[in-house]
A and B are shown apart, each in its own frame.
Chain A
């Protein structure tokens, strides 16, 4: 993997707050990389450091092997799709898309041609004469994408680009972004707080918390083998097991995670007591989610459609295979 973007011990402080705290990160060429984390975790600041809107307090940033700190955004060959799209309200769609070409002095006929090509690529051919105000949220998003890609950047940075779209449109755009990234082969760096989005779209994911990276890995790594309680908690619906519980079930005294689908539930044997009480159930189509209370520990279990779902208040026994219990480091 040749490195496209490299952050070495990068920090960004705002007064006493460290938004980004000594981060090391390498993003490969042609990679679809996601930065995932709750709001205020430093993921957007990290993206802005790459774009050049923020300068690092300390540390070193390299873009395609060249030093980037101290270089203004207009001299970086990366483009950004903003969370609010940031389309210029006084320009029509074609002029918005051609803006990057215009400021670089590309002649008007070529500008027109390339802008129309970019609009075709995002499935908005013939929309050039409209104003941004006349477009829907999804269309504005596509224009912002076309405006960034028309410059043929070396990397595309996307700051929560799908946050403002409704579910159906979001799923459709996720698919299109992936296809686009595959056909163009450009490095995509994608900031999101939606773990589903990060895991389903990205080749690799970095999970942020409190200005630090908690874990970097493939979607499978992150989901199946979370490195810490925070990652397990944030990324998913994984159950987090305290050391006592793990020890009680024959493991070491260590925090561990256990995915809901790895837990089986059943009726207690005649005369035997149940280990857990059903607190709530919710039907979700392919599965039903059952929340259990096992002596104060909250456990989420999924029951595939077609299998019996216990009623609220019912006592059940739980079982799981030891190999599905994933141990995590430290206390965190």
Chain B
């Protein structure tokens, strides 16, 4: 007691300590006095990047969509016109847009349905080792090349692939064939059908759906579900009135990823699926071989507009109320 009292008693030094000195000491003091300066220094580089490189190229893209291409020379005519957008509305191009948006919507719904139970388990039940395993399991596919994964799926879904083999072993080939004989979703084999494209899309974007939902559910205290049950709600009612509304911002965040990634992707439908184009493939084709930059730009505007409407609709439905 007395020893501590002497070591812990008043110090003999000055009340104001001397500055640390040097450049860093001076900088520390300066930033302390002018916190705005530090903020500016931290934000200027990323804002410059965002402003010039990112928004700048977006503006250039938008500008190009209002130019047109000369049918004879194949050169871009730098005069503002809506002709390119008129071209976008040709039946063949509308087909591409409808196909892509429909695929994006279905992929998003399926991803949400598959991701929710996984995210719920991770947020509610997984602890310690199991939680680490969950993160590993979700993130692992993101560690390998996307292209390799898509080719791997082509092998899985091919006529000689393991999925066909599995169906044969289970004596269920008839089911697979019945499915493939259906219009639209069917085809020659799974790897040459919209079903195949859909499966690979859902696989590729699933982590982007699981993680936001898991983060949203993680923030819902257990006491809320207990309170709901305590007040007489059956599990289904608790899900509908408490868990789902509170997870909705996470689902919307995840669906922004799955929806926009599907809208813009051109590799998956190229490798797995039919020969009919998706928006991404159309952009790729028009800016590359065809050299029709204006039409490619106009196609690129479509996902931006669709996402705008999507977010506006989600907001109106109250998806962000719980934020």
Q: Counting CB contacts under 8 A, is B321 at the interface?
A: yes
**Nearest-neighbor residue (CB-CB) of A78 within chain B:** B230
How many angstroms between the C-alpha atoms of A329 and B71 in the bound complex?
Answer: 105
Q: Counting CB contacts under 8 A, is B291 at the interface?
A: no
Contacts of A73 in B (CB 8 A): 226, 229-230
Contacts of B241 in A (CB 8 A): 88, 99, 102-103
**Nearest-neighbor residue (CB-CB) of A131 within chain B:** B321
Contacts of B223 in A (CB 8 A): 82-84, 86
How many angstroms between the C-alpha atoms of A147 and B232 in the bound complex?
Answer: 12
Q: Which A residues between 58 and 90 are near B, CB-CB below 8 angstroms?
A: 72-74, 78-80, 82-84, 86-90
Count chain A residues whose beta carbon lies closer than 8 angstroms to a beta carbon of B. Answer: 25
Q: Do B231 and A90 have beta carbons less than 8 Å apart?
A: no
From B227, B234, B246, contact of A90 by CB (8 A):
B246
Contacts of B224 in A (CB 8 A): 86, 88
Q: Counting CB contacts under 8 A, is B237 at the interface?
A: yes
Q: Counting CB contacts under 8 A, is A100 at the interface?
A: yes
Q: Which B residues between 93 and 152 are near A, CB-CB below 8 angstroms?
A: none
Q: Do A103 and B246 have beta carbons less than 8 Å apart?
A: no
How many angstroms between the C-alpha atoms of A51 and B232 in the bound complex?
Answer: 11
How many angstroms between the C-alpha atoms of A89 and B224 in the bound complex?
Answer: 9
Q: Do B231 and A100 have beta carbons less than 8 Å apart?
A: yes
Q: Counting CB contacts under 8 A, is B305 at the interface?
A: no
Contacts of B234 in A (CB 8 A): 74, 103
Q: Do A103 and B237 have beta carbons less than 8 Å apart?
A: yes
Per DSSP, are chain B's interface residues mostly helix, strand or loop, or mixed? helix
Contacts of B231 in A (CB 8 A): 74, 79, 99-100, 103, 147-148, 151
Contacts of A89 in B (CB 8 A): 246, 322
Q: Counting CB contacts under 8 A, is A283 at the interface?
A: no
Q: Do B232 and A151 have beta carbons less than 8 Å apart?
A: yes
Q: Do B228 and A99 have beta carbons less than 8 Å apart?
A: yes
How many angstroms between the C-alpha atoms of A99 and B242 in the bound complex?
Answer: 10
Q: How far is the CB of B185 from chain A (nearest CB, A)?
A: 37
Given contacts A53-B226, A80-B230, A104-B232, contact A90 B237 (CB under 8 A): no
How many angstroms between the C-alpha atoms of A87 and B224 in the bound complex?
Answer: 7
Contacts of B242 in A (CB 8 A): 88
Contacts of B227 in A (CB 8 A): 80, 82, 86-88
Q: Mark B230-249, 1 if CB is under 8 A from A, else 0.
A: 11111001000110011000
Given contacts A84-B221, A88-B224, contact A100 B229 (CB under 8 A): no
From B221, B229, B246, contact of A72 by CB (8 A):
B229
**Nearest-neighbor residue (CB-CB) of A102 within chain B:** B241
Central interface residue in A53, A79, A80, A103, by most chain B CB within 10 Å: A103
Q: Do A82 and B226 have beta carbons less than 8 Å apart?
A: yes
Q: Do B226 and A74 have beta carbons less than 8 Å apart?
A: no
Q: Mark A169-197, 1 if CB is under 8 A from B, else 0.
A: 00000000000000000000000000000
Contacts of A72 in B (CB 8 A): 229
Central interface residue in B229, B233, B242, by most chain A CB within 10 Å: B229
Q: Mark B290-310, 1 if CB is under 8 A from A, else 0.
A: 000000000000000000000
From A80, A83, A87, A90, contact of B321 by CB (8 A):
A90
How many angstroms between the C-alpha atoms of A53 and B231 in the bound complex?
Answer: 12
From B221, B232, B245, contact of A74 by CB (8 A):
B232
Contacts of A78 in B (CB 8 A): 230
From A51, A84, A87, A90, contact of B230 by CB (8 A):
A51
Q: Do B322 and A74 have beta carbons less than 8 Å apart?
A: no
Given contacts A99-B241, A103-B237, contact A90 B228 (CB under 8 A): no
Q: How far is the CB of B124 from chain A (nearest CB, A)?
A: 14
Q: How far is the CB of A211 from chain B (nearest CB, A)?
A: 21
Contacts of A84 in B (CB 8 A): 221, 223
**Nearest-neighbor residue (CB-CB) of B321 within chain A:** A90
Contacts of A74 in B (CB 8 A): 229-234
How many angstroms between the C-alpha atoms of A98 and B148 in the bound complex?
Answer: 54
Contacts of A102 in B (CB 8 A): 241
Q: Do B233 and A103 have beta carbons less than 8 Å apart?
A: yes
Q: Which B residues between 238 and 265 are near A, CB-CB below 8 angstroms?
A: 241-242, 245-246
How many angstroms between the C-alpha atoms of A51 and B223 in the bound complex?
Answer: 12
Q: How far is the CB of B203 from chain A (nearest CB, A)?
A: 32
Q: How far is the CB of B247 from chain A (nearest CB, A)?
A: 11
**Nearest-neighbor residue (CB-CB) of A144 within chain B:** B227
How many angstroms between the C-alpha atoms of A83 and B233 in the bound complex?
Answer: 20
**Nearest-neighbor residue (CB-CB) of A79 within chain B:** B230
**Nearest-neighbor residue (CB-CB) of B322 within chain A:** A90
Contacts of A82 in B (CB 8 A): 223, 226-227
Central interface residue in A79, A99, A102, by most chain B CB within 10 Å: A99
Q: Mark B47-80, 1 if CB is under 8 A from A, else 0.
A: 0000000000000000000000000000000000
How many angstroms between the C-alpha atoms of A243 and B55 in the bound complex?
Answer: 83
**Nearest-neighbor residue (CB-CB) of A99 within chain B:** B231
**Nearest-neighbor residue (CB-CB) of B246 within chain A:** A90
What are 18 A-B pairs with beta-carbon distances under 8 A? A51-B226, A52-B229, A53-B229, A72-B229, A73-B229, A74-B231, A74-B232, A80-B227, A82-B227, A84-B221, A84-B223, A88-B227, A88-B242, A99-B228, A99-B233, A100-B231, A103-B232, A148-B230
What residues of chain A have their CB less than 8 Å away from a CB belonging to chain B? Answer: 51-53, 72-74, 78-80, 82-84, 86-90, 99-100, 102-104, 147-148, 151
A-B interface, 8 closest residue pairs, ranked by CB to CB distance from nearest: A100-B231, A86-B227, A86-B223, A103-B233, A73-B229, A90-B322, A80-B230, A74-B229
Q: A74-B230, A103-B232 are in contact. List 16 more A-B contacts (CB 8 A).
A: A51-B226, A52-B229, A52-B230, A53-B229, A73-B229, A74-B231, A79-B230, A80-B226, A82-B223, A84-B223, A88-B242, A89-B322, A99-B228, A103-B237, A104-B232, A151-B232
